[in-house]
Structure formats: C-alpha cells, structure tokens
Amino acid sequence: MGRLPYLPTQRGPFRLSRMPPFTHLLGPLIDAGVGKPQTRLTRRLSITRALIDKLPPFAHFEQQFDPTMDDGLAIADGLAFQDRGFAVAQRYTFEIDCRKEAQCLWDAMHFKTRQHIRRAEEKYTAQVVDDPTVFAQAYLSNIKALGKTNWIDFECFPALFAECRSRNCGQILAACGQDGVPVSMVYLVWSRTTMYYLLSTRHHDPADNGSINMLLWSAVKYAHERGLIFDLDGVYSSGAARFLSGFGGQIKTRLMVSRSAAVYGAWQYLKGIYSKSESRHHA
C-alpha cells in the first residue's frame, strides 16, 4: 500500500538521510485505493504517517517530493510529515506540456529565447554523447574555470548513465561547433510520463549565449516525440526563474520536508559561524 525509499549515510557521529546522488525527487509512493476524494485523502494520510513512523532515527532527514503525482493527492504527504514534526517548505519548477503541437510549443516561448535558439542553430549542432566521462570531465573543468566549488560526486555517474541507457530513459545532448568539440551539454532522464532536465554544463565563452537554449529546445522536441511533460527540474534563484520562464512552461510547486535533531542543528550553526570567521580571517 505504501513505500518510502530513503538513503542512510554517516557523517562523523551523525546518521543522516538526504537525497541520493543525482536524485532530485523522492518521497512516498502510496496506493490510496478507490473511493471518494475525502476517503482516499484520509487513507493516504494514514499510510504516509505509518511509513514515517517506521523510519529509523536520524540526526537529519530531508527529501523533496513531487506533489503533482497521483492526481494531486500527494500534496497530503506534506500534511502527514508536518503532523510528525517535520518542517515543510516549498520549492518550485517549470513544466512544459510537450504533448501539444510542436508549433504551439515554439510559439509559447519568449521571443528572446527563440532568438537565442535561432542564432545558436547557426553556429552549433545538437549531438548525442554516449560517453558519460565526457560530460563529467567537461562539468568539472567548467566549474574549475569559473572558480566555483563542485558539490557533485561523479563516481557513480557512469553506472547511472549505463542503467539509464539500458532502460532507454536517459541521454546526454551536446551543442558542438564546426570542429565537433562540445561547448555545452545537458543530461536528460525520463519516466513514462515526464522528462527531467537533470544537469547541464557550459564552457565559459562570452560569445556563447544560446547553446543551452538550443539544447533545451532539442529536449522539448524529444519530449514531444515521446508524448511527455518536460520538467525543467528546479528553480533555485530569480535568475534561473527568468531564464527558464522563457521556455513557456507553467510554474509548479514541490515540497521539501526536513527534520534535524537539536544537537545536529547546533553543530551546523556552530560550523556556519566558524566558516564565516575563517573566510573573514583569510580575506
């Protein structure tokens, strides 16, 4: 009737459960049965609370849900977690219904987004990349060139990519110049209903302001061919919202649930103070 997958990890003395690598959505899977909406809602709440009660103790637990599943009843999962003392917050994404006609999808985009795509198509071609190490190396190189910290562990990426390819549910697309060298890449995964824009990387080139746009338009066309929803997979800043909104999707809400033991919260707080002190000291 219900499943709640989770991943336990150890960090020092603390046992944690966060989102697994390359997993942006998790949460309960519930069969609420048949009946009136009120009956199914009550049943779902009961099952979800029972699953929560079976979780082992964690110093910190967090997961991000897709509340649009199961005809919207999954929003009730937030109520169940809230009842059990979890903090519930909102996150956002954009979804494009690619089951519509391709011309409608093109017309729905902002005119500047279409301009960037047209200009990029004059310079680049979209090609499939079958070697996951090409993506990983480019991602790490581009992050280093920008002077940013990499938070992604690519150790399991080749195995993940191989499993996705064997199930025909994942693909790397690259925008390549005339020399065949990729200037940007995106990694797409999909289920029976939805395609997700999971990762992207772009070479730091001021002259390139449209290759990612072109690849996302290619992804929209891929999703259209498969009759899928295209989920742009998370809006984490106002800048990202401005960029992603240009593709004509509808903004959707996700739920983030979390709960921390008091000692872990205090440790995180002290660690943050120490980090700020160190950065000031070295400035």
> Do 73 and 153 share a domain, yes or no?
no
Q: Do 105 and 196 have their domain in common?
A: yes
Last residue of a domain, one of 184, 208, 227: 227
Pair 81, 190 in one domain: no
Helices 132-145 + 157-166 axis angle, to 10: 140
Task: List Cβ neighbours of 144 (8 Å cut-off, separation of 6 or more).
Answer: 150
Q: What is the pLDDT of residue 283?
A: 44
Q: Quick check: is 241 in a domain?
A: no
In a domain, 201, yes or no: yes
Residues 105 and 211 in one domain: yes
Range of 126's domain? 99-227
Are 218 and 139 in the same domain? Answer: yes
- Give the pLDDT of residue 57: 94
pLDDT of residue 206: 66
Instruction: Establish if 239 belongs to a structural domain.
Output: no
The residue written with tokens 């849900």 in the block is 65
Give me the tens of pLDDT residue by residue for the chain, a chain 283 residues long: 899 999 999 988 999 999 998 998 999 988 888 889 889 899 999 999 999 999 999 999 999 988 666 666 777 899 999 999 999 998 899 999 999 999 999 999 999 999 999 999 999 999 999 999 999 999 999 999 888 888 888 999 999 999 999 999 999 999 999 888 999 999 999 999 999 999 999 988 767 779 999 999 999 999 999 999 999 987 878 888 889 999 999 998 889 999 999 888 787 777 776 555 444 444 4
Q: What is the predicted pLDDT for the residue at 66? A: 80
pLDDT of residue 258: 95
- Are 59 and 148 found together in one domain? no
> Residue 217 falls within a domain, yes or no?
yes
Check whether residue 47 and residue 119 sit in a common domain. no
Which residues lie below 8 Å from residue 202, measured CB to CB, with a gap of 6+?
142, 183, 184, 185, 208, 211, 212
Residue 65 in any domain: the answer is yes
Question: What is residue 194's predicted lDDT score, i.e. its pLDDT?
Answer: 93
Q: Are residues 64 and 104 both part of a single domain?
A: no
Are 192 and 267 members of one domain? no
66: in domain: yes
> Do 78 and 28 share a structural domain?
yes
As for how many domains the chain has, the answer is 2
pLDDT of 282 reads 41
Judge if 211 and 261 occupy the same domain.
no
Are residues 103 and 218 located together in one domain of the fold? yes
Q: Are strands 2-3 and 29-30 parallel, antiparallel or unpaired?
A: antiparallel
